Structure 1
Amino acid sequence: MGERWTPEAAHAWFKAQPWLVGCNFTPSNAINQLEMWQGSTFDLATIDRELALAASVGMNSVRVYLHDLLWLEGSEDFLSRVDAFLSVADGHGIRTMLVLFDSCWHPEPSLGPQPQPREGVHNSGWVQSPGIRALENIGEHGRLEEYVRGVVSRFGQDPRVIAWDIWNEPDNGPEVALCDPVALKAKADLVVPLLVAAFGWAREMNPVQPLTSGIWLGDWSAPDLLSPIQRAQTGNSDIISFHNYGIAEDFAQRVKWLKAMGRPLLCTEYMARPAGSTFQSILPVAKEHDVGTFCWGLVKGKTQTHLPWDKWENPNLEGLRERWFHDIFHEDGTPHDEDEVEFLRLISQLDRIAA
């Protein structure tokens, strides 16, 4: 009970899936996870309309962030909203990877009305889960355990859920985690045991889906080059996931390194056009090496992730006239790039024909 999958079990699971082509999804009218899911702002009609766009380009999966504070708002109502989301996604032929925790952006989340976007700034309202106060206070960890167990217990046998991402970028640094290097080291010391515990809480619910947490920094060419957090992530994951916003050659190199771990691979974040990470460059490589993929973003909206990362530090409306960084569609459903959308449809259709 509650044991990490063997490599053989992981490969058997992976072989039974279609090639996963998806996106990280937040509806265009939500600035963060809380606004997406809170009862007062949960908007199933917008979710339905935008997931239809994902399906229209051949996507069969989405990666979606939850938040521990939503459990406090009202666990049953929250679970009912997740259930409604899964039903809408399933109606479009889309399965969902649920993300339980996240160490990116604002460290002090709070329930209630969320801030408006900062003009010209990438992802200006995203919030960490758990927030720094809950991370530091061991007295809060009991409710974090209740949240993990409760969500995984409810959906751990649900075929609409494709996988569980236990913790997004637990080692994110000063640029995105909004803390200085000294605070980051102290934070990492707090995260590692909680990350391992969260894997254990989820696994003890006996989900039929695999657990993972994606690595994203540094050189992965040898086990001794991994950080303590990366060792905890990969050592507890049933399938190995990673983030990569590099060019095709960098993507291929990292896939080669990670394949040495002997488990199936998912790239749970990619696609940053000005950085050379595009659908046309990455998806053929991912398909060749049998790597599932989730790009960042779908519909341009309140997260403003069509703007590049550096707009966080240097707000600049010039970004609005540049080639988009992330995202695929305008809010009215018009593609940012028609050729890109046609490519997505073609490569996903070719996979269905091959299957």
Structure 2
Amino acid sequence: MPSAIRSFLTCFLLSISLSVWAQRPIWTKEQANAWYAKQPWLVGCNYSPYNAINQLEMWQTETFDLATIDKELAWAESLGFNTLRVFLHDQLWVQDAEGFKKRIDQFLNIAQKHKIKPMFVLFDSCWDPFPHLGKQHEPVQGLHNSGWVQGPGADVLKDPAKQAYLKGYVEGIVSHFKDDGRILAWDVWNEPDNMNNSSYFRWEPTNKVELVTRLLPQVFTWTFSANPTQPVTCGIWNGDWSTPEKLNPLQKIMVENSDVISFHNYDDAPEFEKRVKWLQQYGRPLLCTEYMSRGNKSTFQGSLPVAQRYKVAAYNWGFVAGKTNTIYPWDSWQKPYPKEPELWFHDIYRANGEPYRTEEVTLIRELTQVNAKNSQQRPLQTRPKKKQKAAAQR
């Protein structure tokens, strides 16, 4: 073999070897639990400022509002919240990668000031499948999440030729912040197989689940190739999780590639507890990254004490009522509300800082203060063999 070819092959094989070696593996159960043992009981919310209709409006230069974020995170700190789940977007990277990273850094500085560690979400399959940069439309009266957008959008999801930049986005963001102690975790994709049946279903790709199932493993690979020191996760949200055999192919990808197990539950306290027990079979830390929908019987009074008992991280949906319109329920897509509903669906505060329900704020403060004194992991419980309750339809 000519020396030039031999030299080329040696360098090529070495580069492959180094690439494989450099990508960190999924944490073992022991590593995941060791990380979690160092955390307090994690309590927070899914956050966007009241004056942002979606993640694009939150982060774009023209509408990035540090003063409002600082004010609202002070309210979060006053509740004892120590973490937030915050959505990013791939188009923001395309628009201005360096500026986007700078704004994330500014956000993290404010979060650190208020003793809060965010979990960042890289992609999202919920609501409008046609995101666009620039000025976002105004909220539609009485319509839940009338302006929230998916990322990647349907046009990118359907065309592999348009997906090349996604790798750069994931690796660029995660590698830049991979050693940043201000960040709690990375959630790679929110509800990836959500077909938005009650809202945008007719505009969704008919083979969306197939497309996402093909792309999600790549997203995990890109994330791990950035070697984050923070845990990586992707939350399951519907169906029967009582045994690994009952998981669908996409759910198996989500669970098997997660350092820590995350999930969503918008049902009452008994259902919440049942699903916690189902997921304890994996022997990893559990993070409930979405709950609390008053009209669906998912409440702070019901679910939060259960999360505390099992030391499950708890992120309710919504914080300050505003342009996302999440005080209105999911069924507003069938019957938009002409005025503020008597029963708020999500959210805790009005824009002026007044609590929607003082008793909820009091309860949250009581529970977070109690747990500040005891962050020890509780022993795993035996999961029950009960019949599954139907997941809430959105």
TM-score (norm 1): 0.97
Q: Are the counterparts in 2 of residues 241 and 267 from structure 1 also a CA contact under 8 Å?
A: yes
After superposition, where does 1:184-223 map in structure 2 within 5 Å? Answer: 185-223=206-244
Q: Does 2:356 match 1:302? A: no
1:93 aligns with 2:138: no
User: Where in structure 2 are there 5+ consecutive unaligned residues?
Assistant: 1-22, 376-394
Q: Which residue of 2 aligns with 1:267?
A: 288
Q: Hey, what does 2:40 align to over in structure 1?
A: 18
Match for 1:166: what amino acid? V
Give the counterpart letter for 2:364 in structure 1: L
- Give the aligned partner of residue 9 of structure 1: 31
* 8 Å contact from structure 1 (residues 269, 295) kept in 2: yes
What's 2:140 paired with?
Answer: 118
1:47 corresponds to: 69
Contact 2:127/2:196 (CA < 8 Å) preserved in 1? Answer: no
Q: 1:244 aligns with which of 247, 265, 268?
A: 265
For the residue of structure 1 that corresponds to 2:115, the secondary structure is coil
Residue aligning to 2:126: 104
Contact 2:199–2:333 at 8 Å: present in 1 too?
no
Tell me the secondary structure at the aligned position of residue 325 of structure 1: coil
SS at match of 1:64: strand
Deviation at 1:263, TM superposition (A): 1.1
Aligned twin of 2:345: 325
Name the counterpart of 2:158: 136
CA distance in 2, matches of 1:353, 1:291: 16
Cα distance change, pair 248–184 in 1 and its aligned pair in 2 (3 A): farther
**Runs of at least 4 residues of structure 1 off by over 3 A?**
none
How big is each residue's C-alpha offset from its partner over 1:29-58, in whole Å with a ceiling of 9 and x where there is no partner?
000000000111111110111111111111
1:155 paired residue number: 177
Which AA in structure 1 matches 2:293? A
Give RMSD over aligned pairs: 1.3
CA distance in 1, matches of 2:248, 2:222: 23
TM-score of the two chains, using structure 2 as the length reference: 0.88
Distance, in Å, in 2 between the alignment partners of 1:55 and 1:149 is 31
Distance in 2 of aligned mates of 1:4 and 1:26: 29
Distance 2:116 2:256 in 1: 29
Give the aligned residue type for 2:84.
Answer: V
Task: Provide the C-alpha distance between the structure 1 equivalents of 2:216 and 2:374, rounded to a whole number of angstroms.
Answer: 39
Overall identity of the aligned pairs, in %? 52
Distance 2:169 2:148 in 1: 20
Asked whether 1:34 is paired with 2:56, we answer: yes
1:76-132 superposed Cα distances (whole Å, 9 cap, x missing partner): 000000000011011000000000000000111010100100011000000000001
Residue 241 of structure 1 aligns to a residue in which SS? strand
Say which one has the larger Rg: 2
Structure 1: gaps of 5 or more residues = none
After TM superposition, give the deviation of residue 138 of structure 1 in Å.
1.1
Distance 1:86 1:137 in 2: 34
